[in-house]
C-alpha cells in the first residue's frame, strides 16, 4: 500500500506544478484578447496568492477534520474546476472569479501534502517530490507552447491541463482508502518510536535501505490529537516567528531571482533579451536538477546541513554578480543560485516536525506556506519599484540582502528550537 500511495503523492506534486507557469506563458496573448493592460496579470496573481494564503492558514483545521487524502483530492478537483473556468473565460472578470478557487485549492493541497510527507517519509522523498513539482511546472508551459504553435487558442492549453487535473482528482478520490490504511500503519509504527537525540538526526543511511519507511527524525511517539492552533498560538511557539521569517526570505529570494534576473541582464549588463530569457530558464533547471541530486545527499546529511550548504552555494553565485566580470559569469552564477536554492525549501519543510514537534507541525507548515506566498507577493514587486526608481544594478545587493536575512533567521530558529527541546527534556 505504501508504494501505491507514494506514487499518488508523486503524481499530486506534478499536478501542483502543472498550472503554475501557464498564466505567464499565455498572458502575452490573453491580455490582448481581454483588452486590458499587460500589467493586469499581477491582479490575477494577487487573487491567486490571496486564496492560497487563506487556505494555507486554515490547512491544519481542514486536515484535522477531513484528513490529508480528502483534502488532496478536493483541492485538486477545485484546481481542475478553476482551470476549466480559465479555458471558458472570455473576459478579465471571469478570469478573476475563477482565480479564487484556483488559489484556495493550490494552498490547501500544498500545505496538506508537505505536512504529510514531512511527517511520514524520509528527506530524500521530500526533495524528489519537489523535483516533481519542477517537472510539472516545466511541462505546463510546454503544453501551452505546443497549443499556440499549432495555431489554436490559449483556451485549449488550459483545457488540456484541466483534463489532466480532473483525471488525477478521480484517481485520488478512488485511492482514499489507501490514505486510511496507511495512516493506521503509521500510527502503529509511531507508538513504538522513541525520541532520538539531536546527534542521531545524522543517521539517515539506515533509512535509505527501506524505501517505504516512515520519517525518521526525532518525532514524538504519537501525534497528540488536539484542536487546531490559532495564528496567535502559532506565533507563540518557540522559534516559529524566526522560521516563518526565514521561509519568507527564502521564497522572496527565489521569486525575485526568477522574476528580475532577466531584466538585470538586459538593462544592467546589456545582454540580448532572448539570451537573458534562456539564462533564466537555466536558473529553474538548476533548482529542479538540484532537488533531484539533493535526494541522494540527504542520505548522508541532515536537513540543517542541506539548508546551510545550499545557502553557501547561493552566496557564492550571488557574489559572482558583484565582480567586474559579472556579464561573463552571469550564467554560472544563475546555475549556482538555482542549485543552492534547491535543497532549502524541501529541507526546511521536512525538518519542521523535528524542530517543533509533531503536535505543532501541521500548523507550522500551513503558516510556512502562507509566509512563502506573502514573501513572493511583496518582495519581488518591491524590487521592481527600486529598480525602476534607481537602477537594476541593485539586483545583486537586493538578492544578497534576502539571502543573509534568510540565513540569519534560520540560524536563530535553530538556536531557539534546540534550547526549547533541551528544556522540554
Q: Tens of pLDDT along 82-130?
A: 999 999 998 999 999 999 999 999 888 888 888 888 888 888 899 998 9
pLDDT band for position 74 (cuts 50, 70, 90): very high
Give residue 82's pLDDT: 96
Region 205-209: what's the mean pLDDT?
39
pLDDT band for position 197 (cuts 50, 70, 90): very low
Residue 300 has φ and ψ, to the nearest 5°, of -115, -35
pTM, full prediction: 0.80
Round to whole Å and give the CA distance between 137 and 110: 14
Mean of the per-residue pLDDT values for the chain?
85
pLDDT band for position 409 (cuts 50, 70, 90): very high
Give residue 106's pLDDT: 87
Round to whole Å and give the CA distance between 111 and 135: 19
Sign (positive or negative) of CA dihedral 174, 140, 212, 199: negative
> Which range has the worst mean pLDDT, 95-104, 184-193, 271-280?
184-193
Reading the block at residue 362, the C-alpha cell is: 501541521
Give residue 204's pLDDT: 40
106: Cβ contacts below 8 Å, ≥ 6 apart: 16, 19, 48, 51, 52, 55, 75, 79
Region 154-161: what's the mean pLDDT?
94
Asked if 202 contacts 298 with a C-beta cutoff of 8 angstroms, the reply is no
Give residue 258's pLDDT: 86
> Which range has the worst mean pLDDT, 154-163, 214-223, 224-233?
214-223
Give residue 184's pLDDT: 52
241: Cβ contacts below 8 Å, ≥ 6 apart: 235
pLDDT band for position 238 (cuts 50, 70, 90): very high
Give residue 40's pLDDT: 85
Round to whole Å and give the CA distance between 385 and 388: 5
Give residue 282's pLDDT: 85
Give residue 205's pLDDT: 36
Q: Say yes or no to pLDDT of 336 above 80.
A: yes
pLDDT band for position 78 (cuts 50, 70, 90): very high
Query: Integer distance in angstroms from the first to the last C-alpha of the chain?
Result: 36
Round to whole Å and give the CA distance between 100 and 96: 7
Reading the block at residue 272, the C-alpha cell is: 540580448
Region 170-194: what's the mean pLDDT?
64
Q: What percent of the chain is predicted at pLDDT more than 70?
A: 88
Reading the block at residue 277, the C-alpha cell is: 530569457
Q: Say yes or no to pLDDT of 323 above 80.
A: yes
3-state secondary structure of 419: helix
Give residue 134's pLDDT: 83
271 secondary structure, DSSP code = -
Give residue 316's pLDDT: 97
Give residue 226's pLDDT: 62
Amino acid at each position: 500500500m505504501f508504494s501505491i500511495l507514494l506514487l499518488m503523492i508523486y503524481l499530486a506534486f506534478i499536478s501542483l506544478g502543472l498550472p503554475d507557469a501557464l498564466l505567464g506563458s499565455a498572458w502575452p496573448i490573453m491580455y490582448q484578447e481581454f483588452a486590458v493592460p499587460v500589467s493586469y496579470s499581477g491582479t490575477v496573481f494577487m487573487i491567486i496568492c490571496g486564496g492560497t494564503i487563506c487556505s494555507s492558514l486554515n490547512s491544519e483545521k481542514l486536515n484535522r477534520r477531513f484528513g490529508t487524502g480528502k483534502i488532496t483530492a478536493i483541492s485538486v478537483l477545485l484546481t481542475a474546476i478553476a482551470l476549466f473556468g480559465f479555458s471558458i473565460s472570455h473576459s478579465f472578470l471571469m478570469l478573476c472569479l475563477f482565480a479564487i478557487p484556483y488559489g484556495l485549492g493550490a494552498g490547501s493541497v500544498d500545505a496538506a501534502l508537505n505536512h504529510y510527507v514531512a511527517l511520514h517519509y524520509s528527506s530524500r522523498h521530500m526533495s524528489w517530490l519537489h523535483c516533481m513539482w519542477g517537472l510539472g511546472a516545466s511541462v505546463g508551459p510546454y503544453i501551452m507552447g505546443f497549443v499556440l504553435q499549432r495555431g489554436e487558442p490559449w483556451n485549449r492549453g488550459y483545457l488540456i491541463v484541466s483534463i489532466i487535473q480532473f483525471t488525477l482528482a478521480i484517481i485520488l478520490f478512488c485511492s482514499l482508502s489507501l490514505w486510511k490504511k496507511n495512516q493506521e500503519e503509521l500510527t502503529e509504527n509511531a507508538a513504538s518510536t522513541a525520541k532520538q537525540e539531536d546527534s542521531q538526526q545524522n543517521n539517515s543511511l539506515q533509512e535509505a535501505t527501506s524505501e517505504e519507511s516512515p520519517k525518521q527524525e526525532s518525532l514524538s511517539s504519537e501525534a497528540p490529537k488536539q484542536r487546531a492552533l490559532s495564528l496567535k498560538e502559532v506565533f507563540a511557539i518557540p522559534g516559529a516567528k524566526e522560521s516563518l521569517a526565514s521561509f519568507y526570505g527564502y521564497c522572496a529570494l527565489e521569486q525575485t531571482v526568477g522574476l528580475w534576473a532577466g531584466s538585470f541582464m538586459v538593462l544592467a549588463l546589456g545582454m540580448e533579451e532572448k539570451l537573458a530569457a534562456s539564462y533564466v530558464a537555466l536558473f529553474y533547471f538548476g533548482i529542479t536538477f538540484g532537488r533531484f541530486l539533493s535526494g541522494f545527499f540527504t542520505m548522508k546529511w541532515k536537513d540543517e546541513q542541506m539548508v546551510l550548504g545550499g545557502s553557501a552555494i547561493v552566496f557564492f553565485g550571488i557574489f559572482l554578480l558583484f565582480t567586474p566580470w559579472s556579464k561573463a559569469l552571469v550564467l554560472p552564477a544563475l546555475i549556482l543560485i538555482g542549485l543552492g536554492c534547491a535543497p532549502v525549501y524541501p529541507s526546511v519543510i521536512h525538518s519542521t516536525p523535528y524542530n517543533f514537534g509533531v503536535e505543532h507541525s501541521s500548523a507550522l507548515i500551513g503558516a510556512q506556506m502562507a509566509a512563502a506566498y506573502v514573501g513572493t507577493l511583496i518582495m519581488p514587486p518591491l524590487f521592481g519599484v527600486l529598480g525602476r526608481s534607481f537602477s537594476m544594478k541593485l539586483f545583486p545587493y537586493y538578492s544578497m540582502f534576502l539571502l543573509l536575512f534568510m540565513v540569519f533567521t534560520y540560524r536563530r530558529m535553530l538556536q531557539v528550537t534546540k534550547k526549547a527541546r533541551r528544556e522540554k527534556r
